[in-house]
Amino acid sequence: MDYFNYRGGELFAEEVPTSTIAERFGTPAYVYSRAALEQHYREYSEALAERDHLICYAVKANSNLAVLDVLARMGAGFDIVSAGELERVLRAGGDPGKVVFSGVGKQEWEMRRALEAGVRCFNVESETELDRLDTVAGELGVQAPVSLRVNPDVDAGTHPYISTGLKENKFGIDITEALAVYARAATLPNLVVKGVDCHIGSQLTSVSPFLDALDRVLELVDALSENDIHIEHLDMGGGLGVTYDDEEPPRPADYVRALDERIGDRKLELILEPGRSIAANAGIMLTRVELLKCTEHRNFAIVDAAMNDLIRPALYSAWQAIVPVQPHEGAEEKVWDLVGPVCETGDFLGKDRTMTLCPGDLLAVRSAGAYGFVMSSNYNTRNRPPELMVDGEQVHIVRRRETIEDQLAPENCLPE
Ligand code: LLP
């Protein structure tokens, strides 16, 4: 469900006209809806209500403290991939006992910090990582809870850059070797085997790849149990897609029902790590048309947001809806490329968009709540945009706009 709707010829964020937000806080700006975040989280928690479960929101999708705060208040756990994300979760009031730590390259200091904080589980992605974790836990005199992330070799049918469950990807332990690695993990003194984990990719629009992966993982769980290694939880990762254009991804309820049917009466707590499906459609990015430049070949609308603010179109050729904040008929409809001011041909937010545009018009890039601000940069020494959270009629600044001073503060010239 979306909390960004037109009312009286203008796009609103919950109860607030987005033009008012742009006037008060400037553009470009990210705008999140608290109600949408809550609604998307609730869809998962309601779908999972009948079974033992933990929803670990994937912090990487949108790690703003206020986003984490909203979800922590609803009881969410968190999937982190760095010690930095752990600090964010703790700062936002998240419970470390509900945190799973994923990622192929955890450093020793990150493992130490996570063990000290008391995270719920480490999703271990290689045998060498298993040894490293065993050593670090031993030094601290604790036992580290582990799951092995297995690579089930299934095609998620999504963009190659965000597909992670194929043999040739860097992620996870080949499922055919997993039994042997589990047997070894069980012998390491400073580890306790808790679960099994997999994550096959992102923006999946059908349940079938998830079910293919699940079948293989369940086969492993059964084989482990025959070898006296008892798995307590099954972590299926994230990956459920969202509607950017006309995709019709399964709802969390359909997804969970399909998983449940396969899991049957096995006693497994189900962990999910949704990111995009909670955050993407809980956010928009507001931008203003600066200049129009019509050439013989193309019509360019140069807007004040760029690839440094939202890199998905440039990086993955991702399509995101771009809509007028106040639709009008003040000009001729044309086909536009919406481009930013950065010095790269790849700097576009959208191409071939048929719209009526005038300089000064406000636009909203939809579905920008996930992998938006978190992937932004200062390329071209551009200040990153503010992040605002709407809650009913209120607008909260949850990250102020950066300044040039912020950008220059960590740098130095050479000494005289
Ligand atoms: N768990 C693990 C281990 C992951 O690697 C990811 C995402 C998630 C959970 C969350 O997946 P989600 O529910 O959001 O699909 N920047 C790309 C997406 C990269 C996803 C990386 N891993 C994009 O903008 O499309």
Residues 187 and 299 in one domain: no
pLDDT of residue 162: 64
Contact call for residues 200 and 210 (beta carbons, < 8 A)? yes
Residues 132 and 157 in one domain: yes
pLDDT of residue 156: 76
**Is 344 marked as binding a ligand?**
yes
What does the alpha-carbon distance between residue 30 and residue 22 come to, in Å, rounded to a whole number?
A: 10
Residues 382 and 235 in one domain: no
Residues 49 and 157 in one domain: yes
Rounded to 5 degrees, what angle do the CA atoms 207, 211, 212 make?
120
If you measure from the C-alpha of residue 62 to the centroid of ligand 1, how many angstroms do you get, rounded to a whole number? Answer: 11
**Is 244 marked as binding a ligand?**
no
Residues 191 and 273 in one domain: yes
Residues 64 and 83 in one domain: yes
Residues 265 and 319 in one domain: no
Show which of 263, 278, 293 is a domain's final residue: 278
Q: Going by C-beta distance under 8 Å and a sequence separation of 6 or more, which residues neighbour residue 266?
A: 218, 221
Q: What is the CATH number of the domain that holds 113?
A: 3.20.20.10
Count of other CB atoms within 10 angstroms of residue 97: 11
If you measure from the C-alpha of residue 285 to the centroid of ligand 1, how many angstroms do you get, rounded to a whole number? Answer: 20
pLDDT of residue 160: 67
Contact call for residues 231 and 270 (beta carbons, < 8 A)? no
76 within domain boundaries: yes
Residues 260 and 378 in one domain: no
CA distances from 397 to 25, 30, 41, 66, 308 (A): 9, 10, 22, 9, 20
Q: What does the block give as tokens for 31?
A: 């705008």
Residues 192 and 287 in one domain: no
C-beta 274 within 6 A of ligand 1: yes
Residue 105 half-sphere exposure toward CB, CA atoms < 13 A: 1
372 within domain boundaries: yes
Number of independent structural domains in the chain? 2
Residues 212 and 273 in one domain: yes
Q: What does the block give as tokens for 389?
A: 């959270």
C-beta 313 within 6 A of ligand 1: no
**Residue whose CA is at the smallest distance from ligand 1 atom 8:** 238
pLDDT of residue 248: 97
Show which of 278, 312, 331 is a domain's final residue: 278
Model-level ipTM above the cut of 0.85: yes
pLDDT in single tens digits along all 416 residues of the chain: 479 999 999 999 999 999 999 999 999 999 999 999 999 999 999 999 999 999 999 999 999 999 999 999 999 999 999 999 999 999 999 999 999 999 999 999 999 999 999 999 999 999 999 999 999 999 999 999 999 999 998 887 766 666 676 777 788 999 999 999 999 999 999 999 999 999 999 999 999 999 999 999 999 999 999 999 999 999 999 999 999 999 999 999 999 999 999 999 999 999 999 999 999 999 999 999 999 999 999 999 999 999 999 999 999 999 999 999 999 988 899 999 999 999 999 999 999 999 999 999 999 999 999 999 999 999 999 999 999 999 999 999 999 999 999 999 999 999 99
C-beta 58 within 6 A of ligand 1: yes
- Whole-model pTM: value is 0.97
Active site (annotated) includes residue 121: no
Residues 153 and 50 in one domain: yes
Q: Which residues of 142-153 are buried (b: 16+ CB within 10 A; e: fewer)?
A: eebbbbbbbbbb
CA distances from 66 to 226, 234, 399 (A): 45, 29, 9
Provide the domain limits for residue 197: 34-278
151 within domain boundaries: yes
Residues 265 and 299 in one domain: no
C-beta 103 within 6 A of ligand 1: no
Show which of 278, 307, 323 is a domain's final residue: 278
C-beta 61 within 6 A of ligand 1: yes
413 within domain boundaries: no
Nearest to 128 by CA among 85, 185, 89: 185
**Residue whose CA is at the smallest distance from ligand 1 atom 24:** 371
Count of other CB atoms within 10 angstroms of residue 114: 25
